[in-house]
């Protein structure tokens, strides 16, 4: 890191905890790190891309039950759908995709990304009643052999086992930060990817007894400042790949 590592990681922690880019820059000035809010965004973009490449090589030990849902968000004046796929047991955010519609192809893209990330399909898929989810499930994960077929639970309820409350909590996390995510100007913005990393590797969850989803999946990020650990590990790992 060319700049002060503490300033960079503090900026990322503050931003993904819900502060605006301008508020982050003002907070950094209090500890003697005078940078613009544009610089804060550049840090987020740079280090999110680096960590993303590193994390793609990891193998989270997720369960056999996955959940999917989508929320409507604005991207530079245009409304898009943010699709998310999450592990039921560990709350690990497996995959995401931004689309302009809620068609079968959009749900299918999300499921394919999830399968690529984990290396297998789930045994159980929980969604709401959106028909695109079921058609995508049929095309990707429904098989003739019952023992190999993914079970799709799509008639969810507000109570009991057939609910999507865990996905709703993830949607709520994103909604809580929507107003300050001014960087959402393009569908490939680093903001959502950065928040996915924050959710999985940095944010302890009460439902996991204070663990992060990554820790619940058996992935340990050591050190008091896990941002620094992730960024340094990513830098070393990506450098080795480049050398090869």
Contacts of the segment 152-160: beta carbons below 8 A, 24+ positions apart: 152/124, 152/125, 152/127, 153/124, 153/125, 153/126, 153/127, 154/126, 154/127, 154/128, 154/129, 154/130, 155/129, 156/126, 156/127, 156/128, 156/129
Over pLDDT 90: what percentage of the chain? 65
For the chain, the residue count is 244
> 7 near 31, Cβ under 8 Å?
yes
- Which residues of the chain form CATH 3.30.420.10? 65-178
How many Cβ atoms are within 10 Å of 120's Cβ, its own excluded?
9
Tell me the pLDDT band of 143, cut-offs 50, 70 and 90: confident
Q: Which residue has the higher pLDDT, 161 or 135?
A: 135
Please enumerate in sequence order all residues whose Cβ is within 8 A of that of 67, keeping only pairs 6 or more positions apart, or say none.
85, 86, 87, 88, 125, 126, 127, 164, 166, 167
Residue range 26-32: average pLDDT?
93
In percent, the amount of the chain with pLDDT more than 70 equals 89
Cα 55 off chain centre by = 11
Q: Which 3 state secondary structure label does DSSP give 184?
A: coil
Contact 159, 131 (CB under 8 A): no
Phi, psi at 108, each rounded to 5°? -65, -40
Calculate the dihedral angle through the C-alpha atoms of 65, 58, 221, 177, rounding to the nearest 10 degrees. Answer: -60
Confidence of residue 171 (pLDDT cuts 50, 70, 90): confident
For 117, half-sphere exposure in the C-beta direction (CA atoms, 13 angstrom radius) is 25
Residue 164 has a pLDDT of: 72
| Cross-strand pairs, 78 | 75
DSSP per residue, 189-242: -HHHHHHHHIIIII---GGGTT--HHHHTT----SS-HHHHHHHHHHHHHHHHH
pLDDT band at 185 (very low <50, low <70, confident <90, very high): low
Q: Which CATH class is domain 65-178?
A: alpha beta
Question: Would you state the pLDDT for residue 170?
Answer: 87
DSSP 180: T
- Average pLDDT of 189-195? 86
């Amino acid at each position: 890191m060319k700049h002060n590592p503490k300033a960079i990681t503090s900026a990322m922690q503050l931003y993904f905890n819900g502060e605006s880019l301008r508020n982050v820059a003002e907070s950094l000035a209090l500890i003697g790190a005078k940078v613009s809010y544009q610089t804060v965004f550049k840090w987020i973009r740079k280090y999110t891309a680096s960590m993303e490449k590193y994390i793609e090589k990891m193998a989270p030990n997720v369960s056999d039950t996955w959940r999917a849902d989508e929320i409507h968000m604005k991207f530079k004046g245009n409304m898009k759908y943010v699709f998310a796929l999450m592990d039921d047991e560990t709350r690990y955010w497996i995959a995401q995709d931004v689309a302009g519609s809620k068609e079968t192809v959009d749900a299918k893209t999300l499921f394919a990304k999830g399968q690529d990330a984990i290396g297998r399909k789930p045994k159980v898929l929980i969604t709401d009643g959106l028909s695109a989810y079921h058609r995508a499930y049929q095309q990707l994960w429904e098989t003739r052999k019952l023992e190999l077929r993914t079970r799709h639970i799509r008639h969810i309820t507000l109570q009991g086992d057939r609910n999507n409350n865990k996905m709703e909590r993830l949607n709520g996390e994103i909604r809580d930060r929507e107003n300050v995510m001014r960087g959402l100007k393009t569908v490939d913005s680093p903001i959502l990817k950065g928040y996915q990393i924050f959710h999985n590797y940095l944010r302890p969850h009460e439902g996991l007894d204070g663990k992060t989803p990554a820790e619940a999946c058996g992935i340990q990020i050591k050190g008091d400042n896990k941002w620094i650990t992730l960024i340094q590990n990513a830098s070393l790992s990506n450098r080795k790949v480049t050398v090869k």
